[in-house]
Structure 1
Amino acid sequence: MGLVNFVDVTSEEAIFEGHGWDAVLVITEDLKRLDIDEIKMLAAHGADIDNRVGRLPTLLFAPGLAGGRLIIAPVINAEDDYADVRIFAKAMRQGIQVAKEAGAKKPLVILNQSLQRKYQQALEVAGLAIGQELWQALELREAKQLGAQLDAVGLLVKQQTSDLLNALESGRNLARDLCGTEPERMSAPAFADYCVSALENSGLIVEVIESRCELERDYPLLSAVARSSFAVSRHQPRVVNIEYVPDGEVTQTFLFAGKGVVYDTGGADLKVGGAMAGMSRDKGGAAAVAGLMKTLSLLKPKGIRVIAQLGLVRNSIGSEAFVTDEIIASHAGCRVRIGNTDAEGRLVLADLLSHLRAKAVKAVKPQLFSVATLTGHVVRAYGGYTALVENSVAKREKVAEELQQVGQTWGEPLEVSSLRPDDFDKIVDPSGAADVLSSNNAPSSITARGHQFPAAFLLVASGLDQHGLQSKTPLPYTHVDIAGSATEGHPQYGSPTAAPLVGLYQYMDAMAKKA
């Protein structure tokens, strides 16, 4: 899969004796604060003859160090009031690019950090940035038979970090492959097959639902989105169920619904004017959840049970396509009037959440999440950041607040939005013939509260609205909109990020340790 291989290096002797390392890459906030005298001397000499040293990533000739190469990647503005840990990721990406271009295959990384309190996970965030920088598209790897761009990355550390980073990166790489691959190579059946293969012998429970009868009976909204795709076998929908069960007692249960629209044409409300380009990335939510499950299978955290459902569909057009104005009953029995066929993701998620709701009422201390590239509005509102919209129960339990703190620490910043009565007003069917209206018929990016009110729809259409603060079985639910954060770079064809996989894993791990 072209994965980066992280290796713990606990002895500073490797810097000088090599041990197979062929470059030393130093990430530092200040050349004067370098801890290793030989590196500090070389950096000072380099700065005397090259003004770029300490300002830009630079390569210095260093015959006494591993590989004879010293790369210094400066961390800029670390003391700025508004800086966050991603400045270390940026420095690492710049430095690793220099190392790769210089011909290094096994760089040894040293993070020289003085602001430990502000940037507690700087090394881990910087390490994960390497995987993001070096990821190559699955289609390219398969066509060119490409392997990893680096053989290994050494991390000079005093504690074990490689197991964590390798597991996180393995999950992120799976998520990037699933999200970033074109719609024929990663159609709904191919996506499901790729998951099954990637999770084989993982200890996870994996089930794929593909029967049309079963899908139409149990996932009616999802099947409506996929209705026109059933005629083409390679485009037919799938639901993938994945479950992680820990050894020993379960103290908390997390349930995830992942939106996997493998291609979104807009359906009968066709995307026009070039708006269809990049819509093979509309499966980023399901991809991130699948990657999260891969990471769980490798790290095997205690105490938590995790249940995921991925809804994989192609929003095809044709004579069988569902259309605006139809009224379709969800799995929860909510009668939904279709307001716009291009608001298909929330239909997929509503059925998944209804199934997860039924599991949650019997689970130990459950929390539910939906993860989706859902709205253009979230990009208009927050740019490249993930948004959280939580129900009243999750708000009481401070789910979004704690997720936001974890995300900030681990380099996946999140924004928190609130559900308001106005959001529920937007989903009232004006005709009164249906229980709820799925959406308005304008683009979300120009709709007031365009990323908040879909969460209201998800609550009602899935039946989760019956599990509020006043119910006998209150269920905390948080909607995670990653339309702005699922990819970086080019707006249609940029690299998938696997967000918010790292933050979600660290949040669950933290919750387990609190229990």
Structure 2
Amino acid sequence: MSTEEMNSQTFPTWTFDKACPSMEWTPLSAVSVTLTANVTADQLSSTDLVILPVESSPSGSEDKEPSSALELKTLATQMDSAVTAGALSEVLQEHAKALAKRGGTSPAVRVIVGGGKTQKYMLLAVGSADDDLKGAGWALGKAIAASCIAEKKLGTVTVVLPETYATHETVMTDVVTAVYQSLYADNRFRSKKKPVAEDLTAITFASEGSICDASVVVETGKMLAQGVIMAKDIINAPHNVLNSESLAETAKRIAAESKDGTMTCTILDKTECEKRGMGAYLGVARGSETEPQFIHMTYKPVDGNVRRKVALVGKGLLFDTGGYNIKTQMMELMKFDCGGSAAVLGAARSISQLCPAGVEVHFIVAACENMINDKAYVPSDILTASNGLTIEVMNTDAEGRLTLADALVYADKEVQAEKIVEFSTLTGACMISLGKQIAGVWTDSDDLAAELDAASKATGDKTWRMPMAHEYAEQLESPFADLKNLGTRFGGSITAALFLTNFVEKGKPFGHVDCAGPIWEDGKGATGWGSKLIVEWVKQQGQA
């Protein structure tokens, strides 16, 4: 095979002298999603897999045996009698424990129908109609997608949902989003592709009664899923593909493809950053393979009506070796140190298509790598941030907060955002406190904390408010500079948050979200955490 032929079959990467200029995007699954009202048993006869709902008894029935608290509804009962010869009822009894929890599924029942074709039937636990439906869509959508992936050679799937769910626009949007994001497969770097549900062409969500507006639900769900997939793509990409320059190219492309030109993108190069005195960010970037790229994307509503201006800042370390305080473990995972920027740019992609009203949004990423070379910063260096504060470098592996310092000053002073929320994979200490599924939130603003909590609960991107123990700030005092970039090992996630508060005007609503845990799942890769949460929070700001 010639070199030219080999190059045509591989993903673009760096050459010896030049870094990779762009990152390939994973497209949304081509599966068609439709919504159908007033479905009948006859309409289900032609689909490969039928997923039927199992409802729980209302709250207060906890003392019942699991199977007695579950019931098949009208259409499921008809299909059980006319098609599966009671097999669905048997499955309900045998797998009652799994079906007692929303999102639980049963094994498939196989039935031979006309022409010798095999049709499959499966049960899906939807919970009780009396339950709070918040988060229901995510659980159901993930379960449906998992079933489509597990059951091989499916072309068409019909999912019957109770009318209570089918007429709830938020629930159905969440279902569609979860399905599309769960059908994601990162095949960008494989010579032999491993697609998921490769035979699947269509999923129909059906209701025995009414159903909500399909065009709104499906299009919104797709746009939200695209943001999650973008976040996954950014984190999953290896460093020889994704560097500060290819991340900047990704941001430019998001803006260029925005609906009605509502998003713009400006990239500040090293010279522009020097003019602004971004010594903390540029200090880290001195060791980078590629030139630093300070990304600033702006979304403005097409009608020009802005009630609030907000900034979202994402940590954009494309690879973190630790610098001269080199990491001794987990370095192979350090491509995920751009997890904050992934959440922010993923949200930017969704927002650029959803076009929320009433809010101007600034997306800011100070992109670079934390590497080692003859120019790289070293412990004991003193860096000057763009607000004039000097910082003694105690450890080069506490670099994220240095890049964020100048990004926050920019959001505060140059953008003049009314609220600032920053996302970063900042500390292992947060993972020790909250585990790998929950992000920590630090803020002095009770209102902002409540807003982020509401967005978390609405989207399933879990967060937990942590204490802003200002008495710990003394750990950051330096005998030579205004601040140190690291405190003691105790309360490390708190002192990291306190460090960042020095770069936002006192009293301005500012939130720090440490997402080191939930952005990555061992053995699977990026989760896409944070993109949906940010979109939900932005929508809140436009409505307030």
Shorter-chain TM band: 0.7 to 0.9
Kindly report the root-mean-square deviation, in angstroms, between the aligned alpha carbons of the 2 structures.
3.2
Tell me which amino acid in the other structure corresponds to 1:108: T
Cα drift, residue 36 of structure 1: 2.6
Q: Among 295, 303, 307, which residue is 2:362 paired with? A: 307
Contact kept in structure 2, 1:15 and 1:108, CA below 8 Å? no
Equivalence for 1:496: 526
Equivalence for 1:459: 501
Tell me which amino acid in the other structure corresponds to 2:506: H
Which has the larger Rg?
2
Task: Supply the distance in 1 between the matched residues of 2:175 and 2:280 (Cα, whole angstroms).
Answer: 41
Structure 1 SS opposite 2:317: strand
Equivalence for 1:102: 152
Contact kept in structure 1, 2:468 and 2:494, CA below 8 Å? yes
**Number of matched pairs:** 478
Contact kept in structure 1, 2:129 and 2:164, CA below 8 Å? no
Cα drift, residue 113 of structure 1: 8.1
Identify if the C-alpha distance between structure 1 residues 120 and 194 changes in structure 2 by more than 3 Å, giving closer, same or farther: closer
Identify if the C-alpha distance between structure 1 residues 15 and 311 changes in structure 2 by more than 3 Å, giving closer, same or farther: farther
Task: Supply the distance in 2 between the matched residues of 1:185 and 1:261 (Cα, whole angstroms).
Answer: 14
Instruction: Name which of structure 1's ranges 311-320 and 214-223 shifts more when overlaid on structure 2.
Output: 214-223
Contact kept in structure 1, 2:256 and 2:264, CA below 8 Å? no
Q: Among 397, 411, 414, which residue is 1:342 paired with? A: 397
Tell me which amino acid in the other structure corresponds to 1:155: F
1:7 aligns with 2:43: no
Task: Supply the distance in 1 between the matched residues of 2:316 and 2:40 (Cα, whole angstroms).
Answer: 45
> 1:149-160 maps to which residues of 2 (within 5 A)?
149=198, 150-156=200-206, 157-159=211-213, 160=216
The superposition leaves residues 125-156 of structure 1 with CA deviations (integer Å, 9 ceiling, x where unpaired) of: 44333334322225346863969844343333
> 1:169-248 maps to which residues of 2 (within 5 A)?
169-202=225-258, 203=261, 204-209=263-268, 211-218=269-276, 219-229=278-288, 232=289, 235-248=290-303
Contact kept in structure 1, 2:80 and 2:87, CA below 8 Å? no
Q: Among 114, 117, 123, which residue is 1:72 paired with? A: 123
Q: TM-score normalised to the size of structure 2?
A: 0.79
Q: TM-score normalised to the size of structure 1?
A: 0.83
Task: Supply the distance in 1 between the matched residues of 2:266 and 2:121 (Cα, whole angstroms).
Answer: 49
The superposition leaves residues 209-236 of structure 1 with CA deviations (integer Å, 9 ceiling, x where unpaired) of: 3x3323344332111112122xx4xx33
Task: Supply the distance in 1 between the matched residues of 2:433 and 2:126 (Cα, whole angstroms).
Answer: 29
Tell me which amino acid in the other structure corresponds to 1:320: K
Cα drift, residue 16 of structure 1: 4.2
1:390 aligns with 2:440: no
Contact kept in structure 2, 1:60 and 1:71, CA below 8 Å? yes
The runs of 5 or more residues in structure 2 that have no matched partner are 1-25, 57-69, 99-104
Q: Identity percentage over the alignment?
A: 22
> 1:345-424 maps to which residues of 2 (within 5 A)?
345-361=400-416, 366-383=418-435, 384-391=437-444, 394-395=445-446, 398-424=447-473
Q: Among 319, 326, 330, which residue is 1:275 paired with? A: 330
Equivalence for 1:472: none
Structure 2 SS opposite 1:57: coil
Contact kept in structure 2, 1:57 and 1:73, CA below 8 Å? yes
Equivalence for 2:309: 253
Equivalence for 2:518: 485
Contact kept in structure 1, 2:438 and 2:517, CA below 8 Å? yes
Identify if the C-alpha distance between structure 1 residues 88 and 295 changes in structure 2 by more than 3 Å, giving closer, same or farther: closer
Task: Supply the distance in 2 between the matched residues of 1:335 and 1:75 (Cα, whole angstroms).
Answer: 56
Equivalence for 2:73: 34
The superposition leaves residues 417-444 of structure 1 with CA deviations (integer Å, 9 ceiling, x where unpaired) of: 1212223222211x1x21111113x6xx
Task: Supply the distance in 1 between the matched residues of 2:270 and 2:44 (Cα, whole angstroms).
Answer: 59
Identify if the C-alpha distance between structure 1 residues 476 and 32 changes in structure 2 by more than 3 Å, giving closer, same or farther: same
Tell me which amino acid in the other structure corresponds to 1:225: V
Structure 2 SS opposite 1:336: strand
Contact kept in structure 2, 1:27 and 1:92, CA below 8 Å? no
Cα drift, residue 123 of structure 1: 4.0
1:333 aligns with 2:388: yes
Contact kept in structure 1, 2:148 and 2:197, CA below 8 Å? no
Instruction: Name which of structure 1's ranges 87-96 and 416-425 shifts more when overlaid on structure 2.
Output: 87-96
1:61 aligns with 2:107: no
Instruction: Name which of structure 1's ranges 247-256 and 45-54 shifts more when overlaid on structure 2.
Output: 45-54
Tell me which amino acid in the other structure corresponds to 1:387: G
Cα drift, residue 207 of structure 1: 1.9
The superposition leaves residues 365-407 of structure 1 with CA deviations (integer Å, 9 ceiling, x where unpaired) of: x21011111111111111120111113xx33xx1111221231
Structure 2 SS opposite 1:358: helix
Identify if the C-alpha distance between structure 1 residues 292 and 439 changes in structure 2 by more than 3 Å, giving closer, same or farther: same
Deviation >6 Å, runs of 4+: 76-80, 113-116
Contact kept in structure 1, 2:185 and 2:196, CA below 8 Å? no
Cα drift, residue 355 of structure 1: 0.5
> 1:106-125 maps to which residues of 2 (within 5 A)?
106-112=156-162, 121-125=170-174
Task: Supply the distance in 1 between the matched residues of 2:462 and 2:194 (Cα, whole angstroms).
Answer: 35
Task: Supply the distance in 1 between the matched residues of 2:183 and 2:333 (Cα, whole angstroms).
Answer: 21
Contact kept in structure 1, 2:440 and 2:464, CA below 8 Å? yes
The runs of 5 or more residues in structure 1 that have no matched partner are 469-474
Cα drift, residue 111 of structure 1: 3.5
Structure 1 SS opposite 2:287: helix
Task: Supply the distance in 1 between the matched residues of 2:264 and 2:165 (Cα, whole angstroms).
Answer: 42
Equivalence for 1:436: 483
The superposition leaves residues 94-133 of structure 1 with CA deviations (integer Å, 9 ceiling, x where unpaired) of: 44333233322442333348799xx995544443333343
Tell me which amino acid in the other structure corresponds to 1:412: D
Task: Supply the distance in 1 between the matched residues of 2:309 and 2:191 (Cα, whole angstroms).
Answer: 37
Equivalence for 1:24: 50
Instruction: Name which of structure 1's ranges 34-43 and 193-202 shifts more when overlaid on structure 2.
Output: 34-43
Identify if the C-alpha distance between structure 1 residues 175 and 20 changes in structure 2 by more than 3 Å, giving closer, same or farther: farther
Identify if the C-alpha distance between structure 1 residues 152 and 140 changes in structure 2 by more than 3 Å, giving closer, same or farther: farther
Tell me which amino acid in the other structure corresponds to 2:420: L
Contact kept in structure 1, 2:165 and 2:172, CA below 8 Å? no
The superposition leaves residues 10-39 of structure 1 with CA deviations (integer Å, 9 ceiling, x where unpaired) of: 324387436985433345444515353534
